[in-house]
Amino acid sequence: MGAVVVVGTHWGDEAKGKFVDLIGQDADVVIRYGGGPNAGHTVIVGENTYKFHLIPSGILNPKTLCIMADGMVIDPATLVKEMESLTERGISLDNLRISQNAHVILPYHAKLDKLEEIAKGGAALGTTGRGVGPCYVDKAARLGIRMGDLVNLTRLREKLKAVLPHKNALLTKIYDSEPFDQETLLAELTPLAEKLAPYVTDTQALAGEAQTSGKRILFEGAQATLLDIDGGTYPYVTSSHPISGGATIGTGIPPTAIGQVLGVVKAYTTRVGAGTFPTELLDEKGDRIRERGHEYGTTTGRPRRCGWLDTVALRYSVRVNGLTGICVGHLDVLAGFDKVQICVAYRKNGVRLTEFPAGDVSLLDGCEPEYEILPGWQDVDITNITRFEDLPVNARAYVHRVAEIAGVPAVLVSIGPRRDQTLVPPGIPAPRHLFHVASGVPVVPANVV
Ligand code: IMO
Ligand code: MG
């Protein structure tokens, strides 16, 4: 039994939540291994829409143990709100477990996130402003407060006493802003800590036990490959490791336990926040994709930047994550274009780049995309199609071409946000069987799909 990891191939918002929900229906354990409330994962089940920022999407399955692992940064207020909204809707939280080692986002982190962005002026990153970056800064600086500290009020008081003067000095002396009062903070945090305490535990031990006893483990990636702090488009990245390697950090699951790594790729590419985006469309085609794809942030409501699919980045993503298959999403959004374009290389100063310059992302600045042009498919509603074979021939050809360029099979194709708007191409096993495919090899030979 191999664990399955689901990651985003580009800059986030690939609809990972939908695929995690689908594949996770047979998972015993779903683990979120990184990031925090910067993520926005939407899952639609029947008439119900659920938006998750922190809790793994697997919570919708009453049989699945949901772990928020050490690598996450957790805003207790956001988490309690998310938990309450799930309980109000009849979703049980009995299977939720929060790592005592996950770091706590405190109000000063969110404040600093915003102040740092303002101070950067034109060089601002366009963060989600949720305090994610400053919380990871404290983690690396060994100044962090962890969930295990939060739920132990004596320890919380001691930790705050040590760190708050430092944060207040930053806020008042550098940013000319208001300091935080320790007692007020403690009063705000106490009821949240009490609500969260029953869920906080040693999740590494839990996950390790699940793995050694042969349970089906699914990792829910948040953010995406090009937002990885090392392998992404630094500095326009998040502060964690969304790539598949991140799934083994602080989760208690070793790399050798991973069987399949699936990359969720949109049929086009989007980005929120600043940073180079070679295939960005600043014309009515980009607007059309944005409107049809509802490309507005789940977390911040910001309009997303939209462009043609970048397969230079996709091939990088296949390599760095060790993808064994791709899940192609939002195929319905591209309907109605006469022609659809796939970026297969970049050109800069007369030089053709075929590999993503992850080692020096400054090379991306000023790159012109080189496109392969494919015939589009009619503006017909493909959102109710139930078999891959019934898709318009050019839509199928598009998926085949993307998989061919990626060098790994397309294992799922999404034509809308609902669970039933998902097609399994011929020759591909159903999602539930993915846990049984041999470790580290493509789901099926790449030349099949
Ligand atoms: P999901 O899980 C899209 C982006 C932000 C910004 C940069 C840094 O929904 O795919 P941060 O607040 O993390 O310090 O911001 O990273 N970003 C995301 N973009 N989807 C996400 O998550 C993102 N999480 C962070 O827009 O450019
Ligand atoms: Mg998002």
Q: Which ligand is nearest to the CA of 14?
A: 1
Residue 408's pLDDT is 96
> Does residue 70 carry a catalytic annotation?
no
**CB of 272 closer than 6 A to ligand 1?**
yes
**Ligand 1 within 6 A of CB of 8:** yes
Tokens read off for 49: 């829409």
For ligand 1, atom 10, the nearest C-alpha belongs to 12
The answer, yes or no, to whether any atom of ligand 1 lies below 6 A from the CB of 96, is no
For residue 448, give Cα distances in angstroms to 6, 84, 190, 330, 397.
Answer: 21, 45, 56, 22, 13
Which residues have CB less than 5 Å away from ligand 2 (the ion)? 12-13, 40
Please tell me the distance between residue 134's alpha carbon and the centre of ligand 2 in angstroms. 19
Compute CA distances 385 → 268, 403, 432, whole Å: 20, 20, 21
Let me know if 351 is exposed, middle or buried by CB neighbors in 10 A (0-12, 13-18, 19+): exposed
CB of residue 13 inside a 6 A radius of ligand 1: yes
Q: Are residues 434 and 4 in contact, defined by beta-carbon separation less than 8 angstroms?
A: yes
Name the residue of 11, 14, 18, 38 whose CB sits within 8 Å of the most ligand 1 atoms, as the mutation to test its pocket: 38
At CA 388, angle to CA 381 and CA 243, rounded to 5?
A: 100
Closest among 69, 57, 48, 64 to 21, alpha carbons compared:
57
Q: What is the DSSP letter of 5?
A: E
DSSP structure string for 55-91: S-GGGGSTT-EEEE-TTBEE-HHHHHHHHHHHHHTT-
CA distance 448 to 235: 38
Distance CA(56)–CA(71), nearest Å, equals 13
Instruction: Give 93's DSSP letter.
Output: -
Question: Please, are residues 291 and 333 in contact by the beta-carbon 8 Å criterion?
Answer: no
Give the chain's domains with CATH numbers.
3-62+209-436 (3.90.170.10), 103-198 (1.10.300.10)
Q: Round to whole Å and give the CA distance between 228 and 241.
A: 5
Instruction: Report how far residue 423's alpha carbon sits from residue 400's, in angstroms, rounded to the nearest whole number.
Output: 14
Nearest alpha carbon to residue 291 among 275, 304, 310, 273: 304
Ligand 1: which of 223, 271, 280, 300 to mutate, most ligand atoms within 8 Å of CB?
223
Distance 69 CA to ligand 1 centre (A): 19
Q: Token pair for residue 235?
A: 């500095």
Ligand 1 atom at minimum distance from 130 CA: 12
Whether 310 is a known active-site residue: answer: no
pLDDT of amino acid 447: 54
Give the integer Cα–Cα distance in Å for 245 and 66. Answer: 20
Q: Strand, coil or helix: what is 172?
A: helix
Strands annotated E in 129-273:
200-201, 217-220, 258-266, 269-271
Centroid of ligand 2 to alpha carbon of 50 (angstroms): 14
Q: Is the peptide bond before 37 cis (omega within 30 degrees of 0)?
A: no
Determine whether the shortest distance from the Cβ of 126 to ligand 1 is under 6 A.
yes
> With a 6 A CB cut-off, is 18 part of the ligand 1 pocket?
no
Catalytic residue among 13, 21, 28, 310: 13
Give the SS3 label for residue 345. Answer: strand
Q: Model pTM greater than 0.95?
A: yes
* Residue 227 in contact with ligand 1 by CB distance below 6 A: yes
448 alpha carbon – ligand 2 mean position (Å): 32
Mutate to test the pocket of ligand 1, among 68, 120, 128 (most ligand atoms within 8 A of CB): 128
Residue with CA nearest ligand 1 atom 6: 127
How many A from CA of 125 to the centre of ligand 2? 15
Q: Which of 193, 170, 167 is nearest to 181 (CA)?
A: 167
CA of 13 to the centre of ligand 2 (A): 4
d(CA 67, CA 205): 11
Tell me, in angstroms, the distance from the centre of ligand 1 to residue 375's CA: 32
User: Is the shortest distance between the CB of 125 and ligand 1 below 6 Å?
Assistant: yes
Ordered per-residue pLDDT tens for the chain, 449 residues = 799 999 999 999 999 999 999 999 889 999 999 999 999 989 999 899 999 999 999 999 999 999 999 999 999 999 999 999 999 999 999 999 999 999 999 999 999 999 999 999 999 999 999 999 999 999 999 999 999 999 999 999 999 999 999 999 999 999 999 999 999 999 999 999 999 999 999 999 999 999 999 999 999 999 999 999 999 999 999 999 999 999 999 999 999 999 999 999 999 999 999 999 999 999 999 999 999 999 998 888 899 999 999 999 999 999 999 999 999 999 999 999 999 999 999 999 999 999 999 999 999 999 999 999 999 998 788 999 999 999 999 999 999 999 999 999 999 999 999 999 999 999 998 888 889 888 888 888 665 55
